[in-house]
Structure 1
């Protein structure tokens, strides 16, 4: 038997074959719609049929990524100069009580078009990230926005590296090239989940569909947060803030987004009996977890908040407005849009931005960051962290070493040995079929569900 070629050679071969394989990945149709078939008593099913060209609705074009390429769609389809793959994150708050009925047709369409990633459906709307050939992703987004309640998706597009491209095409075309640690998602499938919220906050009275703060464009953000009278709040979790934040931003030191309401109440001394017109507040100084309280009462301050892609700020700003804050602003498109549009020389961003996929972090221009992921705790780690004696590949890092028992560490070591025995090093999703991984991923996602796209 001939020896297997090196992975780099296989990846180059997959890249060379990607163009030809792409023609087999997509159905040769101009558009798709869903038509109900005969439903079963337990759950209605739908099937995909072709839509005549003359009835095709206009495609919702993907947002252009100015630094590297633009997706251009028209009667002739997507232009040839666009890359083979794109990653698009999107969300939309809406009154969506029948969200469960949307799951099956959406998942079937994604599978038919070989689009991968993850989508959350809830009574309050939709939240997701998808990767695939631009034409395929465009069709999925077009299908989503065919529902009037979901029109106007807020979208952010990120580039995909040539290596990721080869991994994706190799995996979806049943090539022996498996998904590597640099692939943004598990490329071989899409998850469409039903949840109570598209981003967990825990307060049913907070409704971004009714009221939210004022959106601030990235080009106007620097001036706002440079004003000393503006309190800048990072609404992300502390493990995200640890690797990057805006200058002067306050770190609430939360472990999950559900802790944010309590932090606001404590820091601004808010309670149900308090008058929303005034609280005890103080000038913010740099550093995480600074107390904003003082002995002299004054009006609630002007607040500028931000998060990864903007979705958490929708709820956070709505919550602050319900508490009596009058001036609440949030960065439109989040950190990702800021890093895409603002040149590094003019930027007030410091560090890297954590993202909830296998890229782990991104820098200015949305280029790949330097951080990796600890598979023991799912936190970002730097090269310096990996020099620590508490770092053990696939087991622990300086941030979780003390929280794990020896029994837990030994189980992690046994799991890592299994990966290495299979010839797959780097994470529990490499080289294994989706069915074998289903139960593993269900457990891991229950431990830590992304609170943002």
Structure 2
């Protein structure tokens, strides 16, 4: 019985590309009393693994919090694995604004003390006494009320690239830090102001709204489903988006574009930019904002020291980072001494966005994907001809192809001519043995892929 991953992220990425299947990135959460989190965790892992679902899920006695990547064809079956549990019947699945087949590359289901690290003692207040939930239309209308105080309960690296107009954006590294800060700053407005809060998918506000009601705030509201669901409703109902910029997400994409407003800057040169990257030096891995020009000049690194390190042999890099604990530093980009143009923001500061005609993003979804087609069968040395057996999809003249293997590496070419049974053909189908000239030697372990450009 498989209860843990057996493939590396690299192996999983290759399998996804070979399959050529469309995947959906989604998230969901539910607060509920779970008696045996460990058993619940194992049951979900077995069910999800069978469906090819990937992602990161936290389970605790208080509920479940998940961010997932699911094959599109298995979406309904995935929902069925949730709805067998009473507390998840009819659960809302927040489907991502932008899709990337490689958003998650492992299935991780962990048991934790809490599904969100909030630092609160739940026994001291009624966690079910939550704020009033608002859909996108009602949320937009309420923001016109002069008595509203709008608070972003995400972290500084999230709100820096996108937030609602006029929102208070605490300069904090974690959710738990924001709760006492906001509570202290808004003490005098407990009764005369409407406290309206939002986060990425809604889960942080579920706990925060109950906490602030316990602290004596009389009028507490929260955005139903967070920024993700708000954006879906805005598009579906033709509403104005009062959220500007990008919505930071905790997967490979690192962000979903909501509007073309750029409200952040490159941390290395200062030009308008909102593309998050992780430093290419694995021993650093710092999260920061980097424009295309700096990305090229700095080789994806945050400092010259890291550029020097990534040019060392891989074994030497591993030796240098052995035993280093960088987990707590990854998200502290605003405090890094390596970054010249880091922002020192007051939480009440209003940021003027920059409009751009075309947004380019380093970490946007891949511009292409590889689809597995054929397995290497033979190489005719004298004629420099390769033979492949078509196992998946058809192969056509004019296709952009990749021949890949452990010895061959990755070779790309355009298919201009090929034969099946000695006859020139325009198309080869599953079962055909196809031959064509190649300027390199192939091996039996080589695989042939076609390149498909994403829109």
TM range (shorter): 0.5 to 0.7
| Alignment partner of 1:202 is 2:97 | no
Q: Any unmatched runs of 5+ in structure 1? A: 1-10, 23-83, 166-182, 270-279, 282-297, 423-427, 429-438
The match for 2:294 is: 387
C-alpha deviation, 1:303, in angstroms: 0.8
Is the alpha carbon distance of 1:342 and 1:160 closer, same or farther for their aligned partners in structure 2, counting shifts above 3 Å?
closer
Q: Any unmatched runs of 5+ in structure 2? A: 1-12, 261-272, 332-455
C-alpha deviation, 1:307, in angstroms: 0.7
Judge conservation of contact 1:93–1:126 (CA < 8 Å) in 2: yes
Is the alpha carbon distance of 1:349 and 1:141 closer, same or farther for their aligned partners in structure 2, counting shifts above 3 Å?
same
Q: Secondary structure at the match of 1:198?
A: coil
Deviations 1:287-320 (A, max 9, x none): xxxxxxxxxxx83521111111111111111111
C-alpha deviation, 1:112, in angstroms: 2.1
| Alignment partner of 1:414 is 2:306 | no
Judge conservation of contact 2:164–2:244 (CA < 8 Å) in 1: yes
| Alignment partner of 1:192 is 2:109 | yes
| Alignment partner of 1:233 is 2:233 | no
C-alpha deviation, 1:444, in angstroms: 6.1
The CA RMSD measured in Å over matched residues stands at 3.8
Judge conservation of contact 1:89–1:155 (CA < 8 Å) in 2: yes
Is the alpha carbon distance of 1:121 and 1:244 closer, same or farther for their aligned partners in structure 2, counting shifts above 3 Å?
same
Cα distance in 2 between the residues matched to 1:140 and 1:228: 43
Q: Secondary structure at the match of 1:231?
A: strand
Cα distance in 1 between the residues matched to 2:16 and 2:178: 45
* Residue 211 (structure 2) aligned to one of 319, 331, 336: 319
Aligned residues, how many? 298
Q: Secondary structure at the match of 1:100?
A: helix
Cα distance in 2 between the residues matched to 1:128 and 1:416: 37
Cα distance in 2 between the residues matched to 1:210 and 1:194: 22
| Alignment partner of 1:223 is 2:141 | yes
| Alignment partner of 1:133 is 2:71 | yes
Cα distance in 1 between the residues matched to 2:54 and 2:29: 16
Which of these two proteins has the greater Rg computed from alpha carbons? 2
The match for 1:71 is: none
Cα distance in 2 between the residues matched to 1:215 and 1:14: 38
C-alpha deviation, 1:335, in angstroms: 0.9
Q: TM-score, normalised by structure 1?
A: 0.57
Q: TM-score, normalised by structure 2?
A: 0.57
Return the structure number with greater helix share. Answer: 1
| Alignment partner of 1:153 is 2:70 | no
* Residue 371 (structure 1) aligned to one of 270, 275, 278: 275
The match for 2:250 is: 356
Q: Secondary structure at the match of 2:143?
A: helix
Deviations 1:34-62 (A, max 9, x none): xxxxxxxxxxxxxxxxxxxxxxxxxxxxx
Cα distance in 2 between the residues matched to 1:394 and 1:420: 20
C-alpha deviation, 1:378, in angstroms: 4.6
The match for 2:231 is: 339
